[in-house]
Amino acid sequence: MNAAKRREIFLRLQAANPHPTTELEYRTPFELLVAVMLSAQATDISVNAATRQLYPVANTPQAILNLGEAGLRVYIQRIGLYKTKAKHVIQTCRLLLEHHGGEVPQTREELEALPGVGRKTANVILNTAFGQPTIAVDTHIFRVSNRIGLAPGKTVLEVENKLIKVVPEEFKHDAHHWLILHGRYVCQARKPKCGACIIEDLCEYRDKKFD
């Protein structure tokens, strides 16, 4: 795919959604961090349902630490892997208080040092909470990047590095959100909605479906 096509893809995605953001509900960087940690192998809908109950009760590292692991589980028990996630969130709260003054760090290295925080989660926090031009590659973005020919790669890291290289600078901050929403609602895994796709004519996918 050439640079002109890539630019046109993002121009169209931007025109359709000028101010994209995550579908996770949050008000502070810490609330976003916890929500993203809970979202692994879970839907944003289920995470939002849990945090709507949790955050009015505890939405700071100290408040969640005061709940304890068992107390936190009560609020997140309908989310997959909730026992492991509760453990990681409690450990993360403790480290934030001990080493970061209760604040969410703004570097990749410090974020990835937190329990349960990997590269993808760090990228989401850096981008969405702190405005850095990172691109978090999840299953949707991996699929879309390969399927349409935007940034093909065999691994998540390869796709991420290619996207950072080929996405025009002016679109880098919002690229993650546009691509994940496009993959979630249009360029779906089993049955892509090619007939409703605003970039279909730019896409290099050979098995397009219009029914």
Residues with catalytic annotation?
Answer: 120, 138
Q: What share of the chain is helix, strand, coil (3-state, %, to 5)?
A: 60, 0, 40
| Cα 138 to Cα 82, 112, 143, 181, 193, distances in angstroms | 20, 16, 9, 11, 20
| Tokens found for residue 105 | 């760090």
d(CA 37, CA 121): 7
Q: Residue 202 in contact with residue 8, Cβ under 8 Å? A: yes
DSSP codes joined into one string, 135-169: ----HHHHHHHHHTTSS--SSHHHHHHHHHHHS-G
d(CA 151, CA 85): 31
Q: Residue 157 in contact with residue 150, Cβ under 8 Å? A: no
